[in-house]
Structures are given as structure tokens and as C-alpha cells.
Amino acid sequence: MEEIEVVLLEMILSLARIGKPVMLMQALEIANSLVKNTEKEEEIKEWKWKHLKMKDPQHELGKKYWRNFYTRHRDVLTTKKAICFDQKRAEWCTKENLCQMYEKNYGYWSSDEAGNIAVELPEPIWFDKAGNEVADEKLSFGRKTKYKIVKPELLLFVDKVGANTSQ
């Protein structure tokens, strides 16, 4: 299971980095999808039959697996209560926080880990709507930036609208 747990852990951490925390049932769905129709599926069934004496074991991993997985990775995983984002939005949406989010995202996108989707420029510059560098603010689209997206085909933006954004 180690090779599957590496993938599962990376998926959970990636989702957390983009502000999409994973709940228990979602984590189990991901874990079960990783073992379905693989050799691990048969290994899980055999283990359950041998150790738990199940007559017709299923491959599905359950809550006990998640508890053990969490214990093995508690140095990088954390749990907390759900937050209703709508109630916190006014407190959170400050210029300082948005600038911090901008820096974190673009900083990450310009790293080897993210495939260098963006590059950090020596100084902030203006871009037009097509992504071309312009010298005049009147010709620009948006604010000055010190990052340029160089691999837009690798970047996916998702926007969820509604009151239940914590799910």
C-alpha cells in the first residue's frame, strides 16, 4: 500500500494547497479509486479474508484504514472543524490577504514542483489582455505583476459560486 499512500497523500495535500480540504468520505473515495481494478484490490480482499475472517470481503478501505493512514502521516496532515466561508468572507477578503494569496500561488507556479508554469520577472510590469508586455498603464489589463504565465495550458482555474464553498 505504500506506493498508493504516496499518491493519496500528495493528492490530499494538493487539494489542501488550493483550498479544497478533504473530508473523511472524500478521502476514502479517492483511496478506493486508487486501488480499484489493481493488484492491490486483490491483496486487500485476501488480507481481509485472512485476518478479519470475512466470508465475502470487499476491496473498499474504511474508516479504520483512514485512522491508521492519518496516524502514519500526522506529521503533514491536520484536522479541524469546517468553516463557513460566507461568514468569514468579509474578514478574509482584505488587500493584504489577497496579496498573500497571489504571492503563494504565483510563487508555487514558478517552482519546479509545479512545472514552472510561471516565471518570476526582475521587476513588475504591465500586460495587455492578450498577455503581451506593454509600457503604458492605459494599454494594460489589470495591475502590474512580477510574474508571467509561460505554460497557460497547464493551469486550470476553477471558481465555485454559492453559499456552500466549504464542502
Q: Write out pLDDT tens, residues 29-52.
A: 988 888 888 888 878 887 777 777
Q: What is the pLDDT of residues 86-144, one digit of tens each?
A: 656 667 778 888 888 888 888 888 888 888 899 999 999 999 998 899 999 999 998 89
* Ranges of each domain in the chain: 2-82, 87-154
**Helix or strand or coil: residue 76?**
coil
Triad 124, 16, 3: Cα angle to 5°: 115
Burial annotation 95-109 (CB, 10 A radius, 16+ → b, else e): eeeeeeeeeebbeeb
Q: For 81, list phi and psi in degrees, rounded to 5.
A: -70, 155
| pTM, entire model | 0.47
